[in-house]
Structure 1
Amino acid sequence: MRPTLYLKLSCNQMHLQSGRELHLQADPPFSSQRLLVADFAAAEHLLQRGLDELLPKRFLRLSVPPQLLIQPLERLEGGLSQVEERILLELGLGCGARKVRLHMGPELDSAGVLAKLRS
């Protein structure tokens, strides 16, 4: 069974859900005044730390990569540019997710997350 993850991203914070919930505070910060993810390496390191804590090691050993829905919550004035979308997609793929989707809109429950990942 492929694990499903929901990442809500705000300035220097990540809220990761997969059955359990995990709140991560960035140190060093990854956001700037203009960009939600300005320091890609710092954001990737924080997300990887969260995945290591949230997902059982057997998922990684069995090569069952997770599917990930990323929802940016801040710095959305005028929508996301193609560059910002690419940053978020690469963030998920770089941490080992097989399928990464972006969601702009209201926060979702677990059924909503699954529906977005299926579409």
Structure 2
Amino acid sequence: MFKKTLYVQIRENRVHVRNIDDARTVERRASPGFSHPRMLIGDFTAAQACLKHALAEARGAGFAWTTAVVIHPLENIEGGLSQVEERVFRELAVGAGASKVVVWVGAGLGDAEVIARLKGR
């Protein structure tokens, strides 16, 4: 398969990734932690390393030209995300290997909803 679709949920010092294509899930706890009391991502480098490993494991073996990711922060989002926070999540996913990224704030998403968000619906 040449395209992988992943749904990433981020909590304090934890990343949960679901591969929409084969229902594989990966949960990683960051060590060292990446969260800060005021921000979900306080240490970008630690967060990117944790996410990179989780995405690689969730993608599985094989070749993929593109990896589309919906990234969903679940904590420290009262009042929505600022432009800076949204950019942090987008660049976090791109740096971890995503070729297309949608940042989502709202209720949890099912597989069909993840695909719809990536298509812009």
TM-score, normalisation: structure 1: 0.93
Q: Which structure has the highest helix share of the two?
A: 1
Aligned-pair CA distance for 1:52: 1.9
Give the number of aligned pairs: 116
Q: Does 1:23 align with 2:27?
A: yes
Q: Where do 5+ consecutive residues of structure 1 fail to align?
A: none
Q: Distance in 2 between matches of 1:21 and 1:68?
A: 14
Match for residue 81 of structure 1?
82
Query: Of 23, 41, 57, which residue of structure 1 is paired with 2:45?
Result: 41
Aligned letter for 1:97?
Answer: A
Is the contact between residue 65 and residue 98 of structure 1 (CA under 8 Å) also seen in structure 2? yes
Q: Where do 5+ consecutive residues of structure 2 fail to align?
A: none
Aligned-pair CA distance for 1:51: 1.7
Aligned-pair CA distance for 1:58: 2.1
RMSD: 1.0
Aligned letter for 1:44?
Answer: Q
Q: Distance in 2 between matches of 1:25 and 1:90?
A: 20
Q: Secondary structure at the match of 2:45?
A: helix
Match for residue 96 of structure 2?
95
Is the contact between residue 59 and residue 65 of structure 1 (CA under 8 Å) also seen in structure 2? no
Aligned letter for 2:72?
Answer: Q
Identity %: 41
TM-score, normalisation: structure 2: 0.91
